[in-house]
């Protein structure tokens, strides 16, 4: 029954995220990174509150207390029904605006686009497998290495996930301002020194490094999704579904594989292995700079 419930949650998520990402872009007013970050930070904030609610509600009151959280899902259903009506009304207006005013798109060869999408997938793989090591096993790591209580470990996890939420809200607007490629590069590769230090840190520095890692690493996803949407213009829903599906799938598979590795070796060895994953960020150097490509396209059209 637990597996069935998890599968139903996954099906709902697969329906929700691509279309919601498309609506967020529709409502962005041109600030696509900001809109994507605002959309994602809701989920990240909920994930961050999960361990805290588990520590202070589920642990003392028992498993049945989880049922009360379904009220939040009911409120969400009502809100989504209203948002669906808004989207239907504004979709036609948006189409008419495009037809009359036109939009500038990046013009890249199909092979270059496919290569860039593959690089983005590799970056997502490194990001989400590493995040899975923390979201799934961070509490066990703290309990095993530092002998903290379950409640203390849950609070540490809440702090880390809170940093992830903050990083998510920062990444999109910064990408709008300075360019998405630079945010992707700095987010994935820039976190490498901190992940390499984490397995050797004491409890205080483990908590501090986890916050830094969450802030930096989380800034990438909204930027990656918007970057991919601009690589393949007119296919916002398809690209959103592809990247959300791949990200969630990698997180699930990564958690399972890391759990198997922890059983075969040790939870500390898992974090040693995962500390090298952000080195995949070197691949970001092969991504095209879309802002420059767009400028060249506009100049060519003008000439």
Q: What is the pLDDT of residue 301?
A: 36
Residue 219: phi and psi, rounded to 5, are -70, -10
Q: What is the pLDDT of residue 149?
A: 92
Give start and end residues of each alpha helix (H) in 103-235.
110-146, 150-178, 180-189, 192-197, 203-218, 220-231
* Domain spans of the chain, in order of start: 16-94+108-302
Q: Rg (Cα) of the chain, in Å, rounded?
A: 20
- Distance CA(185)–CA(67), nearest Å, equals 41
Q: What is the mean pLDDT of residues 6-18?
A: 86
Q: Which fold has domain 16-94+108-302?
A: Growth Hormone; Chain: A; (1.20.1250)
Angle, helices 32-53/150-178, rounded to nearest 10 degrees: 180
**What residues have CB less than 8 Å from 300, skipping those under 6 apart?**
none
Residue 258 and residue 36 in contact, taking contact as beta carbons nearer than 8 Å: no
pLDDT tens digits for range 263-298: 999 999 999 999 999 999 999 999 998 864 443 443
The residue whose two tokens read 């916050």 is 211
- Distance CA(248)–CA(240), nearest Å, equals 12
Residue 297: phi and psi, rounded to 5, are -65, -45
Average pLDDT over all residues of the chain: 85
Angle at 194 between CA 32 and CA 157, to 5 degrees: 75
3-state secondary structure of 253: helix
Taking residue 174's Cβ as centre, other Cβ atoms within 10 Å add up to 20
Give 27's DSSP letter.
T
Angle at 221 between CA 13 and CA 29, to 5 degrees: 85
pLDDT tens digits for range 166-209: 888 888 899 888 889 999 999 999 999 999 999 999 999 999 99
């Amino acid at each position: 029954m637990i597996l069935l419930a998890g599968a139903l949650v996954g099906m709902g998520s697969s329906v929700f995220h691509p279309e919601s990402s498309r609506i967020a872009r529709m409502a962005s007013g041109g600030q696509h990174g900001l809109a994507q970050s605002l959309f994602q930070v809701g989920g990240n904030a909920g994930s961050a509150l999960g361990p805290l609610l588990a520590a202070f509600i589920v642990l003392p009151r028992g498993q049945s207390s989880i049922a009360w959280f379904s009220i939040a899902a009911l409120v969400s259903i009502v809100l989504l029904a209203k948002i669906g009506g808004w989207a239907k009304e504004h979709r036609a207006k948006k189409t008419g605006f495009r037809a009359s005013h036109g939009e500038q798109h990046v013009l890249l060869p199909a092979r270059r686009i496919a290569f860039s999408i593959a690089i983005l997938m590799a970056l997502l793989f490194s990001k989400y497998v590493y995040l899975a090591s923390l979201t799934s096993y961070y509490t066990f790591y703290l309990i095993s290495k530092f002998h903290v209580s379950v409640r203390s470990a849950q609070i540490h996890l809440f702090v880390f996930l809170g940093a992830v939420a903050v990083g998510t809200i920062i990444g999109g607007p910064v990408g709008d301002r300075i360019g998405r490629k630079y945010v992707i590069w700095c987010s994935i590769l820039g976190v490498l020194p901190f992940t390499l230090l984490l397995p050797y840190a004491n409890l205080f520095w483990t908590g501090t490094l986890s916050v830094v890692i969450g802030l930096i690493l989380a800034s990438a996803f909204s930027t990656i999704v918007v970057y991919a949407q601009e690589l393949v213009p007119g296919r916002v829903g398809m690209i959103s579904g592809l990247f959300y599906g791949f990200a969630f799938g990698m997180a699930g598979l990564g958690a399972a594989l890391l759990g198997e590795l922890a059983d075969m070796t040790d939870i500390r060895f898992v974090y040693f292995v995962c500390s090298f994953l952000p080195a995949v960020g070197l691949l970001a150097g092969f991504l095209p700079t879309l802002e420059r490509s767009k400028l060249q396209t506009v100049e060519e059209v003008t000439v």
